Structure 1
Amino acid sequence: MYNELPAKENHSVEQALLHDADLAARCADLLEAQRYLDALQPGPSDRAVQNILQYSRTFLRAE
């Protein structure tokens, strides 16, 4: 999935994927999930940040 195997082990996995349709289908599902996860926004939305800032301002006014 992340190309982290040594070449010999990578070749073994590739051979297993070629000969096991169920394994290949599960691998394809994992690769699709990986693409979706990689596309996720890594931080809070602008709206969430604004809500937090607005909430924190209520403490500044209370003093």
Structure 2
Amino acid sequence: MYNELPADEQSEIEQALVHDADLAAKCADLLLAQRALNSLQQNPRPDTTQAILQYSRTFLKAG
């Protein structure tokens, strides 16, 4: 899914996908889910970021 296998193991997986339609379908579903999840971007609200920054400044003043 993330291209993290050594080349020989990746080759074995690719061969398994060629010869096992059920495995290939499950892999395709996982790749679609991965793509959908990767497209989501979550960011904190600006006031949350400001609260964290303000809190961290208290440590700078204390030291």
Q: For the residues of structure 2 that align with 1:7 and 1:37, how far apart are their CA atoms?
A: 26
Normalised TM-score (structure 2): 0.69
Give the drift of 1:43: 1.5
Matching residue of 1:30: 30
Q: For the residues of structure 1 that align with 2:17 and 2:9, how far apart are their CA atoms?
A: 12
Divergent runs of 4+, >6 A: none
Which letter maps to 1:33? A
Which letter maps to 1:25? A
Q: For the residues of structure 1 that align with 2:24 and 2:18, how far apart are their CA atoms?
A: 7
RMSD: 1.7
Give the drift of 1:42: 2.6
Count of paired positions: 49
Task: Structure 2: state its 5+ residue gaps.
Answer: 52-63
Normalised TM-score (structure 1): 0.69
Alignment of 1:44-59 (within 5 A): 44=44, 49=45
Question: Which range moves more in the overlay, 35-44 or 20-29?
Answer: 35-44
